[in-house]
Amino acid sequence: MGRNSSGKVTTSGAQRLELSYLFKAGYIQKGCIIQSSISWNSGSTINIYSELTKEKQFIRLAYQMKDSSGEIQNLDYKIWLDSIPSNLGKGEIYYFICPRSGRRSRIIYRCYGSLYFKARKAYQIRIFYQSQISSKKDYHNSRYFEAERKLEECYQMQRKSHYQGKETRLLKRINFLEAKKEILDQRRFLDFGKYCMKRGWLIL
């Protein structure tokens, strides 16, 4: 799962949980306890329970998966959340606390036969960013994931949004990368449309 023709796993190809998506899709809501499930195109499904209250901040994952010997394992574990004030001065930015490395991360992955979701740097085998292995034909798509990677690094470094009444360099870079990511997302969608048109595929 998540491997390309070269056998390398990428951040876009691996099974992943992204905090920004979980919040937008309603899997996590501040002050709420929510129980739901998430499914992937591969047919894999996990049950997710989230609690984001003053007392507790975590998600709980439950699913089945075959281990390296082929035996089915029942997984059920918590991943705690941490937060820092937003650099915009409104609300908070939340992070997963990786259950294996203790690192803060906005995205956690499951690949290379791992039974658990964990941070990219918790894997001994490298998970590649798409831009590191993509061809020129995949230019905008690879740059999109490269901008996503740089944004994730900036979010972890952010502190104050302003200093002496002026935006910090880090905030300016975050704003630049967010705008760049949005433009690249539009361009890679257009690339996909052209690709489909060349092959006579109908896009609904």
List the beta strands (DSSP E) in 117-185: 162-163, 166-167
pLDDT over threshold 50, residue 6: no
Q: Higher confidence at residue 129 or residue 182? A: 182
**Model pLDDT for residues 93-120, shown as the tens digit of each residue:** 899 999 889 989 888 988 888 899 998 8
Residue 10 bridge partners (DSSP): 128
**Model pLDDT for residues 15-54, shown as the tens digit of each residue:** 889 888 899 889 999 999 999 999 877 778 899 999 999 8
- As a whole number of angstroms, the distance between CA 180 and CA 168 comes to 18
pTM over 0.95: no
Tell which residue, 139, 147, 105, has the closest CA to residue 123. 105
Kindly list the domain boundaries of the chain, sorted by start residue: 15-122, 130-198
